[in-house]
Amino acid sequence: MKKIGVLALQGAVSEHLDAISRTGATAVAVKHPDQLHDLDGLILPGGESTTMRRLMKKYDLFETIQAFAKSGKGIFGTCAGLVLTAREIDGSDDETLGLIDTVVMRNGFGRQKDSFEAAIEIKGLKGDPFPAVFIRAPYIASVGEQVSVLATIDNKCIAAQQGKILVTAFHPELTGDTRLLELFIASL
């Protein structure tokens, strides 16, 4: 059975833990670097990327997560997690984990009042379109050669993968649909 952690510093932690449990995998709330050692994968949830970055630095998780990914473990970044995993944030000097060769646009779809839901097609998922929930969502402005674009909306990349790093601009944990999470777990 796979053991999947959720970075539990801020954001949609309980929703991700519940979704992981629904897949049959073991869910772990991660607050300390030593908790990463026996995980197969880690989810960086939605929330506020600046706050999450500061807390990751404060609790010595920033470099530990980078080392976790470099060791071949999987990371799934949703919304703020997508921002944190990027190589660069457009128009910002904020440090990122640099785990996926992307440039992201923070709040690319607008502010809180511009949040929306959409049924989207995701490469690799069978069946009905995925019910994506966008809340102050970023998008991926550009991708490197090694990055596979998995989904777009309005010609903006909203899901991508590079090796074992999967990112989405939306919140899959806020739906009852675990197919994307299952795809992530199966890749580990």
Q: Binding-site residues, please?
A: 47-49, 106, 135-136
Q: Confirm whether 157 is a catalytic residue.
A: no
Alpha-carbon distance of 96 to 98, in angstroms, equals 5
Contact status, residue 65 vs residue 100, Cβ threshold 8 Å: no
Identify the active-site residue in 15, 16, 157, 173. Answer: 173
Select which of 15, 16, 79, 157 is catalytic.
79
Assign residue 107 a region: left if phi > 0, alpha if psi is -120 to 50, beta otherwise?
A: left
Give the residue ranges of the annotated binding site for L-glutamine: 47-49, 106, 135-136
Instruction: Give the residue from 32, 74, 81 showing the smallest Cα distance to 52.
Output: 81
Beta-bridge partner residues of 120 = 130
> Is 171 a residue of the active site?
yes
The answer to whether 87 and 103 are in contact (CB under 8 A) is yes
Residue type, 5: G
Which residue reads 């929330």 in tokens? 47
* Catalytic status, residue 16: no
Q: Alpha helices, DSSP H only, in 31-178?
A: 49-58, 62-70, 80-85
**Residues recognised as catalytic:** 79, 171, 173
